Structure formats: C-alpha cells, structure tokens
Amino acid sequence: MGNIGVAIKRILGNKNTITIVAVIVGVVVIYMGYTIRVQQAIEPQKVPFARQELIGNTLITREHVGTIEVSKKLVERTPELVTNQAGVIGKYVSYDSKIPEGALFYRSQLSATAQKPNYITEDIEKGFTVFSLPVDMHLTYANSIMPDDYIDLFLYTTNDDGKIIVAELIKSIKVKDVRDNEGKSVFSSMSTSKSPTELIFAVPDDVFSLLYRASQIPGIQIFPVPRNKEYTETSEQRNNLVAKENLIQLINSKSDLTYND
C-alpha cells in the first residue's frame, strides 16, 4: 500500500501528467456539453399536420388531423406554428387559404368561424361604400401594396390645351384587399396567378360617386401611390378622405354631374 501511495504522489507531482489529465477532463466536459445541446436541439416534438388537402371554410375535424414529430428547434423558431391538436380541431380553414396534404398548421390559416366570400364588407362603416380600383402588377409596384396599407389616389388626365395634369386626388385610403382576376386575394394560397387586377377599399358615399364617375370618363386615369411605413402607421389618426376641390370641379365638368349627387 505504501508503494502505491508513493507512486500516486509521484504521478501527481509530475506537471506533464497533470496537464494531460486536465486536457482529457476538459475534452470530456466539452463533448458532454455539446452532446446535450445537440440532443436538446433535435429533440422531437409532436405537432399536428393535415391528413388531406383542406380548402377554405373547411371545418377541421379529428379525422383531418394527424401528428408528426419535428425538431424542437423548429417549433421555437416558428411562433405561428400550431403545436397541439386542440388548437386545430374545431377551427375553420380561412376563406382565402388552402392547406396541402401533409402540411403543418399555422395560426394565420385558421379562423374561429366560417368566413363569407364577401367578408370584406362586414365591417364597413355606415355611409361608406366599397370601391374596386383596376390595377396591374406595375401599378401595385410588383405587389408591394398590401391589405391594411394606406395609399393616396392620384389623377392623370389632360386639359383642353393638351397639357398633362397629374395631381393628388384623395389622401389616406386604407386598402382592404388586393385581388386577382378570379376574385381571390393575391396574398393567399388560393391565388395561383398572384397577378393583381383590383384594389379593394371603402370610401364615403360621395367620394365613391366621384371615383366611379371619374373611372368612366375617357382620358382620366386614377392610380394608387403607396406610402412608407411611418405614413401607414399614422394615417388612421388623420384619415379624412377629402378630394381636392379643383379636381372635383374638373371631374364634374367632364361628367356634367355634381359631387354630391
């Protein structure tokens, strides 16, 4: 026993031996820590998925939903992801969404109630009317105008002398939807073309009359102008939707009607 003790003391007294042992211990600790972190990152978590394709306004039942294991890291990085069946079953697929077979569920695709095709008119204020402004990819700046953005409307025409007139007609209009030639929102999964043909928004009844008459006059074009984020965030507080008086007179002179008819 005494010889063993002496041998241990000699080993511990050797600096090279201590260094080697410290390195080995350090490597083991790093390896174990790395292994634990990797296991935590790839630890599977069960989430619901669609057993079949689900179209808009489908009531999701238990038969429509299965579970699949995905990495915990994916769940943490995707806050929109629905992580349990209770968050899916009994909900409706949003009117303008489609969930492919095998796809995971996201909150933005689900609705607590079925939506009607004319859902954009449900929250229109009294005295307002929905207006559809014809547009294309160019006029929407390659689909840069989105629902809930604010825009200004400008008028383009020529006067009796042939001079070009470009002027702001109405300020601060909130966009309700951007639709394709099939009436589907271009930002939804239901739209296959993603090519905009109309901007949908609501304006006071008298402004609607003005815009409609202007849209029917040859030589007059109304086009949207998107604004920056700060403008969009503050527009709701200063939204007055008043058309410029000189342009009102111009439109009235070409349509032989008054603004308040």
Q: What is the pLDDT of residue 103?
A: 93
Per-residue pLDDT reduced to its tens digit, 14-35: 556 666 666 666 666 676 665 5
Q: How far is Cα 117 from Cα 157, in angstroms, rounded to an integer?
A: 35
| Pairing relationship of beta strands 92-93 and 198-204 according to DSSP bridges | unpaired
Q: Quick one: pLDDT at residue 38?
A: 56
User: What confidence score (pLDDT) does residue 258 get?
Assistant: 47
- Residue 258's contacts (CB-CB under 8 Å, 6 or more residues apart) are 252
At the top level of CATH, the class of 44-111 is: alpha beta
Alpha helices in the chain (DSSP H): 2-13, 15-42, 72-77, 205-216, 229-235, 245-255
pLDDT, residue 237, reads 47
- Is the pTM for the entire model greater than 0.75? no
Token digits of residue 231: 């403008």
Helix (H) or strand (E) segment spanning residue 87? none
DSSP state of 118: T
Instruction: Give the C-alpha separation, 52 to 64, whole Å.
Output: 6
Q: What percentage of the chain has pLDDT greater than the value 90?
A: 38
Entry field: residues in the chain: 261
> What is the average pLDDT score of the chain?
81
Highest-pLDDT range among 25-29, 37-41, 138-142, 244-248: 138-142
Please give the average per-residue pLDDT across 141-161, as a whole number. Answer: 90
Residue 93 parent element (H or E): strand 92-93
Kindly report, residue by residue over 39-93, the tens digit of the pLDDT.
Answer: 555 678 899 999 999 988 889 999 999 999 998 888 888 888 999 999 999 999 9
The residues spanned by each domain of the chain are 44-111, 119-255
Confidence of residue 106 (pLDDT cuts 50, 70, 90): very high
Interatomic CA distance for residues 198 and 187, integer angstroms? 13
Q: How confident is the model at residue 112 (pLDDT cuts 50, 70, 90)?
A: confident
CB burial class (10 A; 0-12, 13-18, 19+) of residue 74?
middle
